[in-house]
């Protein structure tokens, strides 16, 4: 019964008492009295030291469906009603599963939870059935700030509908290194000023849509060749380079009113007196540069504290303490939330961290919760989710942006022009995904082409190769479709050498269009392809757009927002403006 009363304490007068879902905790915490109206100051005053520290901690939870007594939910219940964590970062699930799970947790929490999620390029990064955009780099290829604004606005509307308040987006990194294995198409591009405009527009869209925004990964993750999920990257560039490149989009985000900034687990010796300390643990980076030089007064959040870039450098307990000392307010995904709370609490009680410093961060978090209206109403209406998430209006906007994001980097033999001009016999060869190509094949056939399809296995046998050669031999043109994308813990990005060699051989057989549904840089591995079209991501929406472009139903107007080795500069792209009737 005590848990029920605690859950109801934050509700506005007249709100029905929430139903307790799942097993009861074995040990209940003391209640936290929440005063309606101006709830931040009196609430802060009533928190114990440990309760204050718990507000800084945000563990990670899958958004999939599980029963109320599933072990993962039992653990989550302990986080919110025993540990009293300040929030949750939610991950993969369907809109209704995510919303119902968050409602259950909100109803058990003594204080309302601040819910966050990685919503780069729309909520579909973490939630199925949302509106799919073509990735931030695809937005960069359109060159329109209005597109970035709509990305932010629609992401906000759909995110709030499922119960998320803080989006860990947009990515403000400038992707200046083509070998970067973890940023790639997550960035808007390589021109810091163009990226800055698009970041600012996204922040404005998110604010107008009602969600809190986060610029990441400060002070810039774009010039690395190491995945910080695996190990700590080191960027040795001098201050002048950072000042004129990496920091430009962060300044624009701050000017646009971004609510939070996420730190990067990157060592920056030139910015940190020669130290190779991860930026997340560096007072010189988070306080000296972000707070003092850039005058950012909002929420600073760490990147995930269980990532290799930080976990391999210091112990888990020391990491949370030093991240807080460096200037962070929110401690994201510590390996053990209970241990993290205990470690920081002891640091406060020993005098290592002052109570005033702790109160400043807790106040920021409570103020964000108040801004989101969580002290009055903390759960969402499940019946309203389907009216917002993936709505016809939202999908129409995203589809238009996707169609304009396609970049035709080269068409040396006129293959794309020929496919757009009249129906042809086409061999569609897909690589890197068992689902890639189905929608594209249908769109090519819809446009009048006769299409034969074949999937290249990861390790093709001699029989597979004979079949591929036979299908290509019977066609006049070849479309090679690949899906190479960034991914956590991969360490590298690009086609496997054996795959690149196979595609190079196949591209010599017939006039060929190489289509990338992911990284824009793979053309350097298959230089023999006469034509190269970039689609940015592997979704049915992008496949539909590529099919419409290759059959002349849509114009091709995108421009590359990054230079692409070996020879294409920023803004390269062939425009084919007149669709075939």
Q: Is residue 212 pLDDT above 50, yes or no?
A: yes
3-state DSSP of 150-190: HHHHHHHHHHHHCCCCEECCCECCCCCCCCCCCCHHHCCCC
Over residues 370-398, the pLDDT tens digits come to: 999 999 999 999 999 999 999 999 999 99
Contact 137, 561 (CB under 8 A): yes
Exposure class string for 6-43: b at 16+ Cβ within 10 A, else e: bbeebbeeeeeebebebeebeeebeebebeeeebbeeb
Query: What pLDDT is attached to residue 314?
Result: 84
Query: What pLDDT is attached to residue 223?
Result: 86
217 is catalytic: no
Q: Is residue 18 pLDDT above 50, yes or no?
A: no
Query: What pLDDT is attached to residue 488?
Result: 45
Query: What pLDDT is attached to residue 432?
Result: 65
Over residues 449-508, the pLDDT tens digits come to: 999 999 988 778 888 888 899 999 999 999 999 988 755 445 467 788 888 999 999 999
DSSP-based three-state secondary structure for 214: strand
DSSP-based three-state secondary structure for 45: helix
- Residue intervals of the chain classified under CATH 3.40.50.1700 are 406-550
Q: Mean pLDDT, the chain, as a whole number?
A: 90
* Contacting residues for 33 by C-beta, under 8 A, at least 6 apart: 9, 42, 43, 46
Query: What pLDDT is attached to residue 371?
Result: 95
Query: What pLDDT is attached to residue 179?
Result: 85
Contact 201, 187 (CB under 8 A): no
User: What DSSP character marks residue 347?
Assistant: H
Over residues 162-191, the pLDDT tens digits come to: 999 999 999 999 999 988 878 999 999 999
Q: How far apart are CA 76 and CA 248, in angstroms?
A: 39
| Active-site pick, 223, 303, 317, 329 | 303
Q: List the alpha helices (DSSP H) in 327-421.
A: 337-349, 355-371, 385-388, 392-405, 415-421
Query: What pLDDT is attached to residue 10?
Result: 33
Please state the rounded mean pLDDT for residues 30-38: 52
Domain 406-550: CATH class, spelled out:
alpha beta
Higher pLDDT, 494 or 158: 158
Query: What pLDDT is attached to residue 25?
Result: 35
* Contacting residues for 302 by C-beta, under 8 A, at least 6 apart: 262, 263, 280, 310, 323, 328, 330, 331, 332
Higher pLDDT, 14 or 160: 160
Query: What pLDDT is attached to residue 28?
Result: 39
265 is catalytic: no
* Contacting residues for 338 by C-beta, under 8 A, at least 6 apart: 83
Q: How far apart are CA 368 and CA 356, in angstroms?
A: 19
Higher pLDDT, 579 or 356: 356
Angle at 106 between CA 393 and CA 344, to 5 degrees: 115
Angle at 487 between CA 486 and CA 489, to 5 degrees: 135
- Residue intervals of the chain classified under CATH 3.20.20.300 are 2-14+46-388
Q: Is residue 11 pLDDT above 60, yes or no?
A: no
Q: Is residue 213 pLDDT above 70, yes or no?
A: yes
Over residues 326-350, the pLDDT tens digits come to: 999 999 999 999 999 999 999 999 9
Which band of pLDDT confidence, cut at 50, 70 and 90, is reported for residue 229?
low
Query: What pLDDT is attached to residue 8?
Result: 32
Which band of pLDDT confidence, cut at 50, 70 and 90, is reported for residue 448?
very high
* Candidate from 6-10, 219-223, 242-246, 341-345 with smallest mean pLDDT: 6-10
Q: List the alpha helices (DSSP H) in 236-380.
A: 239-244, 247-255, 283, 308-311, 316-326, 337-349, 355-371
Query: What pLDDT is attached to residue 234?
Result: 86
Query: What pLDDT is attached to residue 460?
Result: 80
Q: Is residue 554 pLDDT above 70, yes or no?
A: yes
Query: What pLDDT is attached to residue 7?
Result: 34
Query: What pLDDT is attached to residue 489?
Result: 43
Would you state the structure tokens that stand for residue 523, as one six-digit string?
């053309």
Query: What pLDDT is attached to residue 9?
Result: 32
Contact 219, 264 (CB under 8 A): yes
Architecture of the domain whose range is 2-14+46-388: Alpha-Beta Barrel (3.20)
Please state the rounded mean pLDDT for residues 426-431: 94
Q: Is residue 276 pLDDT above 90, yes or no?
A: no
Contact 333, 59 (CB under 8 A): yes
Site of tokens 């006049």: 476
Site of tokens 């687990």: 265
Calculate the CA dihedral of residues 255, 256, 259, 260 and round it to 10 degrees: -60
Q: Is residue 55 pLDDT above 60, yes or no?
A: yes
Query: What pLDDT is attached to residue 348?
Result: 98
Q: Say whether the peptide bond before residue 219 is cis (omega within 30 degrees of 0).
A: yes
Q: The whole model's pTM is what?
A: 0.91
Contact 228, 264 (CB under 8 A): yes
Q: Is residue 245 pLDDT above 80, yes or no?
A: yes
Q: Give the residue among 420, 543, 422, 569 at the shortest CA–CA distance from 481.
A: 543
| Active-site pick, 217, 229, 394, 449 | 229
Over residues 530-550, the pLDDT tens digits come to: 999 999 999 999 999 999 999
Element (H, E) at 299: strand 299-301
Query: What pLDDT is attached to residue 242?
Result: 94
Angle at 206 between CA 36 and CA 195, to 5 degrees: 145
Contact 570, 563 (CB under 8 A): yes
Contact 419, 513 (CB under 8 A): yes
Query: What pLDDT is attached to residue 19?
Result: 30
Q: How far apart are CA 229 and CA 211, in angstroms?
A: 27
Q: Is residue 428 pLDDT above 70, yes or no?
A: yes
Q: Which long-range contacts (CB under 8 A, 24 or more apart) does 446-449 make?
A: 446/547, 446/551, 447/423, 447/547, 447/548, 447/550, 447/551, 447/552, 447/553, 448/422, 448/423, 448/551, 449/419, 449/423, 449/424, 449/425, 449/551
Q: Give the residue among 102, 71, 147, 55 at the shortest CA–CA distance from 360.
A: 55
Q: Which residues pair with 304 in a beta bridge?
A: none
């Amino acid at each position: 019964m005590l848990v029920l009363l605690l859950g109801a304490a934050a509700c506005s007068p007249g709100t029905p008492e929430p139903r307790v879902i799942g097993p009861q905790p074995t040990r209940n915490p003391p209640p936290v009295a929440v005063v309606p109206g101006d709830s931040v100051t009196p609430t802060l005053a009533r928190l114990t030291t440990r309760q204050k520290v718990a507000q800084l901690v945000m563990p990670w939870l899958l958004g999939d469906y599980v029963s109320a007594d599933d072990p993962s939910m039992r653990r989550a219940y302990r986080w919110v009603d025993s540990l009293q964590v300040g929030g949750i970062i939610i991950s993969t699930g369907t809109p209704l599963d995510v919303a119902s799970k968050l409602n259950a947790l909100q109803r058990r929490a003594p204080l309302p939870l601040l819910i966050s999620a990685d919503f780069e390029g729309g909520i579909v990064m973490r939630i199925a059935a949302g509106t799919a955009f073509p990735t931030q780099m695809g937005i960069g290829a359109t060159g329109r700030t209005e597109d970035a604004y709509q990305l932010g606005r629609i992401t906000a509307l759909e995110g709030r509908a499922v119960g998320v308040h803080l989006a860990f987006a947009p990515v403000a990194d400038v992707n200046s290194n083509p070998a970067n294995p973890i940023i790639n198409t997550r960035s808007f591009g390589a021109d810091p000023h163009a990226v800055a405009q698009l970041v600012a527009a996204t922040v404005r869209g998110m604010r107008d849509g009602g969600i809190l925004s986060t610029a990441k990964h400060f002070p810039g993750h774009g010039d690395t060749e190491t995945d910080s999920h695996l190990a700590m990257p080191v960027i040795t560039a001098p201050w002048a380079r950072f000042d004129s490149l990496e920091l430009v989009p962060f300044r624009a985000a701050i000017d646009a009113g971004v609510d939070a900034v996420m730190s990067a687990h990157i060592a920056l010796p030139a910015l940190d007196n020669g130290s190779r300390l991860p930026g997340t643990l560096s007072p010189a980076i988070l306080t000296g540069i972000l707070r003092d030089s850039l005058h950012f007064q909002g929420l600073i959040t760490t990147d995930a504290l269980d990532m290799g870039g930080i976990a391999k450098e210091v112990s888990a307990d020391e990491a949370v303490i030093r991240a807080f000392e460096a200037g962070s307010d929110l401690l994201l995904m510590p390996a053990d939330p209970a241990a993290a709370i205990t470690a920081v609490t002891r640091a406060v009680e020993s005098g290592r961290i002052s109570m005033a410093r702790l109160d400043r961060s807790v106040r920021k978090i409570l103020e964000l919760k108040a801004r989101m209206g969580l002290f009055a109403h903390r759960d969402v209406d499940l019946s309203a989710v389907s009216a917002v998430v993936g709505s016809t209006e939202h999908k129409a906007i995203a589809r238009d942006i996707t169609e304009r994001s396609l970049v035709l980097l080269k068409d040396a033999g006129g293959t794309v022009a020929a496919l757009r001009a009249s129906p042809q016999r086409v061999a569609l060869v897909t690589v890197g995904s068992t689902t890639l190509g189905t929608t594209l094949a249908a769109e090519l056939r819809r446009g009048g082409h006769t299409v034969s399809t074949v999937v290249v296995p990861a390790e093709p046998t001699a029989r597979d190769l004979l079949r591929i050669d036979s299908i290509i031999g019977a066609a006049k043109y070849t479309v090679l479709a690949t899906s190479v994308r960034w991914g956590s813990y991969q360490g590298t990005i690009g086609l496997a050498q054996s795959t690149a060699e196979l595609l190079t051989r196949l591209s010599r057989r017939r006039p060929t269009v190489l289509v990338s549904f992911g990284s824009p840089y793979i053309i350097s591995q298959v230089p023999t392809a006469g034509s190269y079209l970039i689609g940015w991501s592997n979704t049915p929406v992008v496949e539909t757009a590529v099919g419409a472009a290759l059959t002349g139903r849509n114009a091709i107007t995108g421009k590359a927002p990054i230079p692409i080795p070996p020879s294409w500069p920023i803004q390269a792209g062939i425009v084919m403006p007149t669709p075939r009737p």
